Homo-oligomer: A and B are copies of this chain.
Amino acid sequence: MTEKTYDVVAIGNAIVDVMSFADEAFIVRENMRKGTMQLIDRDRGETLYAAMGPATEVSGGSAANTLAGMSSLGAKTAFIGKVANDDLGRIFRHDLRAVGVTFDSVESTLEAGTGRCLIAVTPDGQRTMNTYLGAAGVLDESDIDAALISGAKIFYTEGYMWFNDDTKKAIRKGFEIAKAAGTKVAFSLSDAFCVEGNRDDFLALIDEHFDILFCNEAEACALYPGLSFEAVLDKLQGQCEIVAVTCSEKGSRILTRDQRITVAPLTVAKVVDTTGAGDLYAAGFMYGLTHGLTLEQSGHLGSACASEIITHLGARAQKPLTRLLAA
């Protein structure tokens, strides 16, 4: 493997989160499935926004959150994604670059604005997401930067991208580029809904392409309906070099071909907003993998990053995460 310029290069949805605290009744009234993500169209986006309370805007996007976290820890990262020429696009680009992520993808010139995710955060800190993809939804093969992907130790992407045929085709091209360049492929299953809608695809990709798989308990179980969590772990073990399964307040499980590691959870005094917990776990974990930490240390760093992000609104660290490296 030749010297790599980046620790991780990722393709992801370029999204600004529009976050508002809401009560449980709002989730019911707006017909949302609590704790999940659903795609919405522009009209629904406008109706829902009008129904939402005052909001705070924070750059988001699952893979982008992961890169931002990694860069905040000191890793070298680059992002491939699509914004429009508007305020939200400038905000998204600024926030990635400001934390040190390389992000040079060209803007969309179509009418659709930069993608946004309307997030209702309930009093228990749970987030329910409604994503209008906008410009993020038009990423295609022309956006794939082969040199960038070849120059990375890990090429990472998110299950949330698995909605559009052109985008899937583009990402599959990325997998081939990675394979040819000796770049590991990492993937997040993102949401149980994504798994339900793409089960066969994801199972085939796990088999053929993924070296590192991130998921939570619900997403793992959605891959193999009807099996217990432990049986699902038996199925997953050995299918990729590394499978990291987050289990919220129960910590995480790391499976390699020949070992299983249980990472103890960290206690958090007050959970404000769980948005980005999984993304930041992946950030800490991949930072560890690319910086000589053991799998267990990488899992602990993932937990530390996730624990930090849920103490405030938004999935981007408000202060440098390097302080977590000393722990």
Asked if A306 is at the interface (CB within 8 A of a chain B CB), the reply is: no
* Identical chains in the assembly: 2
Q: State whether the Cβ of A323 lies closer than 8 Å to any Cβ in chain B.
A: no
At the interface with chain B, which of A48-56, A73-81, A219-227?
A: A48-56
A125 within 8 A of B: no
- Would A56 and B58 count as touching, CB distance under 8 A? yes
Given contacts A113-B87, A319-B21, is CB(A99)–CB(B54) below 8 Å?
yes
Q: In the complex, which residues of chain B have a beta carbon less than 8 angstroms from the beta carbon of A95?
A: 54-55
Q: Mark A240-271, 1 if CB is under 8 A from B, else 0.
A: 00000000000000000000000000000000
Residue ranges of A at the interface with B (Cβ–Cβ < 8 Å): 18, 20-21, 49-50, 52-59, 68, 86-88, 91, 94-96, 98-99, 113-114, 312-314, 316-319
- Pairs A–B under 8 Å by Cβ, sample size 19: A50-B94, A52-B98, A53-B99, A54-B94, A54-B95, A54-B98, A54-B318, A55-B91, A55-B94, A56-B316, A56-B318, A57-B57, A57-B58, A57-B91, A86-B86, A87-B88, A87-B113, A312-B313, A313-B313
